[in-house]
Chain A
Amino acid sequence: TQLLEQSPQFLSIQEGENLTVYCNSSSVFSSLQWYRQEPGEGPVLLVTVVTGGEVKKLKRLTFQFGDARKDSSLHITAAQPGDTGLYLCAGDTSGTYKYIFGTGTRLKVLA
């Protein structure tokens, strides 16, 4: 059973569109991270959220941690081809900074 489910699995959109991807679990997380991974490379950390209801912004990316700390969302405004990649969420349930990764959302932004 996958601890962290991400949706959608695949998303193909046109440049300039907005999108939201989701990360859901039945477990409570002490912290949750979002990564982006490009082909042939390792994941790169985008953000860490630790407080229920927390919202963080990174340029056109907005990250939200659910109030109950069981879910998170990533919203991208005016997507660009450079946003193409695999987006992974990762949660720490034990407070030991050992992160379990989600199933991933593969995003393709078409020019």
Chain B
Amino acid sequence: DAGVIQSPRHEVTEMGQEVTLRCKPISGHNSLFWYRQTMMRGLELLIYFNNNVPIDDSGMPEDRFSAKMPNASFSTLKIQPSEPRDSAVYFCASRQQGNQPQHFGDGTRLSIL
């Protein structure tokens, strides 16, 4: 099993640019989560999907952030326009069903200059 795959692993871009982060969950998992991790705020849940449907997006910071899951094997998190305060490590995780463990990807380290 390849695990949760995130791309890119690192992204450096200038403020104002659009950023798209990608995630491929583990095959057969029907829940997908996007998190953001910073030293100041720790690991924060941004949004999660069940069966490709967004269930809770209350953690999404503002309208500049959007997430989609067009099918069971792919999700994107988009920031437009990006700002320096968006710099963080963004994690994707997937889970088979409610009481099963979440499996995290290795994250995307995002730096907005």
Q: Which residues of A pack against B, CB within 8 Å?
A: 2, 33, 40-45, 48, 88, 96-104
Contact = CB atoms under 8 A, between A and B. Distances in A.
18 contacts: A2-B42, A40-B107, A41-B106, A41-B107, A42-B106, A42-B107, A43-B91, A44-B104, A45-B101, A45-B102, A88-B42, A97-B95, A98-B45, A98-B56, A99-B45, A99-B102, A101-B43, A101-B45
Given A42-B4, A88-B43, A98-B56, A48 B48 contact: no
Interface centre among A2, A88, A98 (most CB of B within 10 A): A98
Nearest to B4: A42
Contacts of A97: 95, 98-99
Contacts of A104: 42-43
B48 A98 contact: yes
Given A97-B98, A97-B99, A98-B56, A43 B104 contact: yes
- The interface centre, meaning the residue of A41, A42, A44, A97 with most chain B CB atoms within 10 A of its CB, is A42
